[in-house]
Amino acid sequence: MFKVHHKVDPFEFIFAVTKDFWHQVSRDSVSPGLFFQTNVFYGDHQFSAGVDFLSFVPRIHTDEDEADVTLYPYDVGPYKETETINSFMPFIAMRLRHNDIVFKSRLTYAGASADFYSLLGGYGICKRNKATDERLYTKLASLNWWTELYCRTDKTELGIFVGFGQNLGSSHELQKDTDGNFITWGYLVGIDNIFRVQPRVRFYHGPVILSFEIDFCRAVYGDINKCGKVITDKCHAVSNIRLISSIKYAF
């Protein structure tokens, strides 16, 4: 990672160039990930806006096994693939503080986020040459919002986290495979929306932090249509509740 940080009151500018070789999306990217954020400070408050950009190549050559030799029997490849997908993620955020009370919130538009960012969305095939298996891709976007409110004293902290993600689908029609399923890749592509709320309490005793949390999550899922959105009249909802406790020693 290469990071540049510059502050001119009341503004703060952050620019970063990243490359993650452990993750396939970043490893196959055309260029390193680019991140830019601007912060504005007003007293104890902070307002932010930024963008995260990554351009990646889903594959470097065609698959000759997927080509239809009856359409073009002379040479089915493989052919070199250079088609890219541009993941563009603008966001706005804020942090408000009043004495011991802190409020945070962030709104993110995720275009072709895939599983690299753990946000709803990904990408799919919008055009495909059946003779050579050459492909054009389209982004599956989502809108994601979370907020957090907590109050901390010397010994305790009470807080609550709320998050919501909405699948926005694609602006182009998706192609189907031989089984009639739409060809997509990404994170929770079949989810229409997901909601999470997590109230918590923490106790501080020197370097020891004792935490208790209730995690409630509800997701609406189903089959997607030709534009990558879940068919609402055929969707289902599922909920889950977890009780979480932890002990942390900070030094």
Six-digit token pair at 197? 């709320």
CATH number of residue 151's parent domain: 2.40.160.10
Q: pLDDT by residue (tens digit) across 116-134? A: 567 888 888 988 887 777 8
Q: What is the pLDDT along the chain (251 residues), one digit of tens a residue?
A: 889 999 999 999 999 998 776 666 666 666 788 899 999 999 999 999 999 988 888 877 777 666 555 655 555 567 777 788 888 899 999 999 999 999 999 999 988 765 556 788 888 898 888 777 788 899 899 999 999 999 999 899 999 999 999 999 998 999 888 788 898 888 778 899 999 999 999 999 989 999 999 999 999 999 999 998 998 888 899 999 999 999 999 87
Domain limits for position 89: 2-249
CB 194 within 8 A of CB 230: no
Residue 37: in which H helix or E strand, if any? strand 33-42
Question: What pTM did the predictor assign?
Answer: 0.84
Q: How many domains does the chain have?
A: 1
C-alpha span between 223 and 38 (Å, rounded): 39
Where b means 16+ CB within 10 Å and e means fewer, 26-54 reads: beebeebbebebebeeeeeebebebebbb
